[in-house]
């Protein structure tokens, strides 16, 4: 039939652009270096700014670039390896974990998916501990830890405390229970407004959502929803720390 072109693949411009930029980043730019601004780059490649932005978005998603409004686009450092599953199973807040307590609410709402895991009904009181994970001054993750008041013996007394003091009390009580097991899920999400602020990103930024279920006394005693910056984090699971060391 004449024109049997093998692989007639009209590659989208932004895809090709991404490849070109990616190679340029490898060979011609150092980490932290500032790229030309979007209008200049677009002109240089002879495309509309929107098309150029499509390529930049992909590269940012892959952790190659970092863009900040009012500042510019810089070459991102390699992703940070973040240990998610501690070698020894332990409660959140146990000695030596990498989280910083921010506060504690009880009025906050519990997402339906979490309520299902906790087996709590709609109005049941739940302690919500807010925590944050930071490395080298840069925020990595935001967390909400949900603990049904029913599993904490002295919930009534704890309810009198406020802020961090209350959070520490909840964690302390939790630590006194026997931890029978835990399991996790990881999925892609987009940052809610609050998380985004805490993570120094815009709302909607891609995040890795780690949901950890803590089992004690034959029931789900707590659920932690940890929201990691997908652009800067590589989650590590493992028996040894070898991967983290190698990949650094």
Partner DNA sequence: AAGTGGTCTAGACCACTTG
Partner DNA sequence: AAGTGGTCTAGACCACTTT
Rg over alpha carbons for the chain, rounded to the nearest Å, is: 23
Q: Is 226 in the site for a second copy (CB under 8 A)?
A: no
- Site for a second copy contains 87 (CB under 8 A): no
Give yes or no for a contact between 225 and 102, defined as CB atoms under 8 angstroms apart: no
**Could you list the residues that contact DNA (CB under 7 A)?**
10, 12-15, 35, 37-40, 46-51, 53-54, 56, 67-73, 202, 204
Question: Could you say which of a second copy, DNA, none residue 67 binds, taking C-beta under 5 to 8 angstroms by partner kind?
Answer: DNA
If the CB atoms of residues 1 and 240 are measured against a second copy, the closer one turns out to be: 240
Phi, psi for 217 (deg, rounded to 5): 60, 35
Say which entry of a second copy, DNA, none residue 71 contacts (CB below 5 to 8 A, set by partner kind): DNA
Q: Give me the least distance between CB of 89 and a second copy, in Å please.
A: 8
Q: Which is nearer to a second copy, 15 or 163 (CB)?
A: 15
SS3 state at 225 = strand
Q: Considering only residues 144 through 203, tell me which ones interact with a second copy, judged by CB under 8 A.
A: 181-190, 203
Q: According to the binding rule CB under 8 A, does residue 231 interact with a second copy?
A: yes
Q: Does 74 bind a second copy (CB under 8 A)?
A: no
Residues 102-131 that bind a second copy (CB under 8 A): 113, 116-117
Residue 28: name its binding partner from a second copy, DNA, none (Cβ under 5 to 8 Å by kind): none
**Does residue number 237 form part of the binding site for a second copy (CB under 8 A)?**
yes
Query: What 3 state SS string does 100-123 have?
Result: EEEEEECCCCCCHHHHHHHCCCCC
Nearest distance in Å: CB 96, a second copy: 20
Taking alpha carbons only, the member of 186, 211, 180 closest to residue 113 is 211
Select from DNA, a second copy, none the partner in contact with residue 213, using the beta carbon and a kind-dependent cut-off of 5 to 8 Å.
a second copy
List of residues 6+ apart from 14 with CB closer than 8 A: 47, 51, 52, 54, 55, 58
Contact flag: residue 213 with a second copy (CB under 8 A): yes
Q: Determine the Cα–Cα distance for residues 173 and 151; give it in Å rounded to an integer.
A: 9
- C-alpha span between 47 and 16 (Å, rounded): 12
Tokens representing residue 194 in the block: 């609050």
Question: Nearest to residue 130, comparing CAs of 85, 174, 100?
Answer: 100
- Spatial distance between the Cα atoms of 46 and 227, rounded to a whole number of angstroms: 38
Cα 98 from Cα 77, distance rounded (Å): 21
Minimum separation from the CB atom of position 14 to a second copy (A): 8
Nearer to a second copy, 106 or 192 (CB): 192
**Residues near a second copy (CB under 8 A):** 15, 18, 58, 61-63, 79, 81, 85, 113, 116-117, 181-190, 203-204, 206, 208, 213, 215, 230-231, 233-240, 242-243, 246-247
């Amino acid at each position: 039939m004449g024109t049997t072109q093998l692989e007639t693949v009209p590659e989208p411009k932004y895809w090709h652009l991404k490849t070109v930029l990616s190679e340029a980043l490898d060979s011609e730019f150092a980490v932290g270096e500032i790229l030309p601004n979007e209008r200049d780059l677009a002109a240089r490649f002879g495309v509309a700014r929107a098309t150029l932005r499509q390529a930049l978005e992909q590269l940012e998603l892959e952790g190659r670039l970092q863009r900040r409004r009012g500042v510019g686009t810089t070459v991102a450092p390699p992703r940070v390896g973040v240990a998610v599953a501690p070698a020894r199973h332990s409660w959140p807040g146990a000695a030596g974990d990498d989280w910083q307590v921010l506060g504690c609410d009880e009025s906050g709402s519990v997402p339906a998916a979490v309520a299902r895991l906790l087996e709590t009904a709609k109005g049941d009181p739940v302690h919500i501990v807010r925590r944050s994970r930071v490395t080298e001054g840069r925020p990595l993750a935001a967390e909400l830890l949900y603990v049904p008041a029913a599993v904490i013996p002295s919930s009534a007394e704890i309810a009198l405390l406020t802020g961090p003091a209350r959070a520490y009390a909840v964690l302390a009580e939790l630590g006194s229970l026997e931890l029978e097991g835990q399991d996790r899920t990881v999925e892609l999400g987009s940052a809610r407004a609050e998380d985004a602020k805490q993570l120094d990103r815009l709302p909607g930024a891609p995040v890795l959502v780690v949901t950890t279920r803590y089992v004690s006394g034959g029931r789900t005693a707590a659920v932690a929803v940890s929201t990691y910056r997908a652009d800067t984090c590589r989650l590590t699971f493992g028996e040894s720390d070898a991967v983290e060391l190698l990949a650094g």
